[in-house]
């Protein structure tokens, strides 16, 4: 009767739960710190965080970032510092989403978002300009480009807050807010686990 065992195995599969997600129609939840496309942040007063220091371009292993800094106009400054990023381009045909630019940024201006589903049809669209990367000057939300597929809530949590759980590996940073405020969100709270005061030994 062991012949029939195999038939039972296949028959039982009919009633089992499917693991398939019908992808473009329905999406699985993304990890909170997924490395998607970049966003350039603004302070709460609407000033740009980027100071045009070009550290991100220097650290980029794929050479995909091009930055030119310029002196802030004295009558109408764009960033709180001396200079601002006057050209800022990221080529997404080259970017490997390693997040080293985010690590390197001294002001937390550049961060990565969860959005990675974009399909442009020419090379010019692949190069995101400063205007496209900057968050909206009113709402502080990232700008959606026509070829990007976003879902509800994916454009949240796109600031230096993302670095909350990796404060340079130094235990003294635990629970401390080491990031600046964002337009539309204010200074975000440290995440659960990042701010609790338990030592790693207690945690285990």
Partner 1 sequence: MMIVALDPLLSSDIGFSVVAVMLLKVVLAFALLMVSVMLVIWFERKIVADMHNRVGPSLAGPWGILQTLADGIKLFFKEDLLPERADRVVFRLAPYLSLVPAFLSFAIVPIGGDFTNGGDGTVSIFGHRTLLQVADPPVGILLFLALSSIAVYGVMLAGWSSGSKYPLLGSVRASAQMISYEAALGLSMATVFLSSGTLSTSGIVSGQATWNWNLLATGVIPFVIFVIAGTAELNRPPFDLVEAEQELVGGFHTEYSSIRFALFFLAEFMNMITMSAIAVTLFLGGPNGPILVKQIAWVWPILWFFLKVMAFLFTFVWLRATLPRLRYDQLMDLGWKVLIPASLGWFLLIASLNIGKDRGWSTFLVVPIGLVILSLAALLLNGAIKKAKDSSLHAADLSEISEGTDQ
- If one asks whether residue 2 binds partner 1 (CB under 8 A), the answer comes out as no
Residue count (the chain) = 204
Q: Residue 1 CB, nearest distance to partner 1 (Å)?
A: 15
- If one asks whether residue 192 binds partner 1 (CB under 8 A), the answer comes out as no
Residues forming beta bridges with residue 195, ordered by sequence position: none
- If one asks whether residue 73 binds partner 1 (CB under 8 A), the answer comes out as no
Judged by CB under 8 A, which of 2, 10, 124, 172 binds partner 1? 10
The residue (of 25 and 192) whose beta carbon lies closer to partner 1 is: 25
Q: Is the separation of the CB atoms in 77 and 86 below 8 Å?
A: no
- If one asks whether residue 147 binds partner 1 (CB under 8 A), the answer comes out as no
The 3-state DSSP class for residue 74 equals coil
Q: Which residues contact 142 (CB under 8 A, 6 or more apart)?
A: 39, 113, 115, 135, 136, 155, 158
Q: Is the separation of the CB atoms in 105 and 143 below 8 Å?
A: no
The residue (of 6 and 146) whose beta carbon lies closer to partner 1 is: 6
Measure the CA–CA gap between 44 and 182, rounded to whole angstroms: 5
Structure tokens at 88: 């800022």
Q: Residue 16 CB, nearest distance to partner 1 (Å)?
A: 6
Q: Is the separation of the CB atoms in 43 and 6 below 8 Å?
A: no
Provide the mask over 11-30, with x wherever binding to partner 1 is found by CB under 8 A and - wherever it is not: x-xx-x-xxx-x--------
Size of the site for partner 1 (CB under 8 A): 12
Q: Residue 21 CB, nearest distance to partner 1 (Å)?
A: 9
Interacting residue ranges for partner 1, rule: CB under 8 A: 6-7, 9-11, 13-14, 16, 18-20, 22
């Amino acid at each position: 009767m062991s012949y029939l065992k195999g038939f039972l195995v296949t028959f039982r599969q009919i009633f089992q739960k499917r693991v398939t997600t019908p992808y473009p129609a329905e999406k699985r939840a993304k990890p909170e710190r997924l490395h998607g496309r970049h966003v350039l942040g603004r302070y709460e007063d609407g000033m740009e965080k980027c100071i045009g220091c070009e550290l991100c371009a220097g650290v980029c292993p794929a050479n995909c970032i091009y930055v030119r800094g310029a002196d802030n106009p004295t009558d109408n400054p764009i960033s709180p510092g001396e200079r601002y990023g006057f050209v800022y381009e990221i080529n997404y045909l080259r970017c490997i989403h390693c997040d080293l630019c985010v690590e390197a940024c001294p002001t937390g201006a550049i961060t990565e978002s969860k959005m990675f589903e974009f399909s442009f049809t020419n090379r010019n669209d692949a190069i995101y300009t400063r205007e496209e990367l900057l968050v909206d000057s009113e709402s502080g939300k990232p700008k959606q480009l026509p070829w990007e597929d976003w879902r509800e809530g994916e454009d949240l949590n796109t600031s230096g807050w993302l670095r909350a759980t990796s404060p340079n590996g130094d235990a003294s940073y635990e629970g401390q807010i080491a990031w600046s405020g964002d337009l539309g969100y204010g200074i975000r709270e440290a995440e659960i686990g990042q701010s609790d005061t338990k030592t790693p030994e207690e945690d285990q």
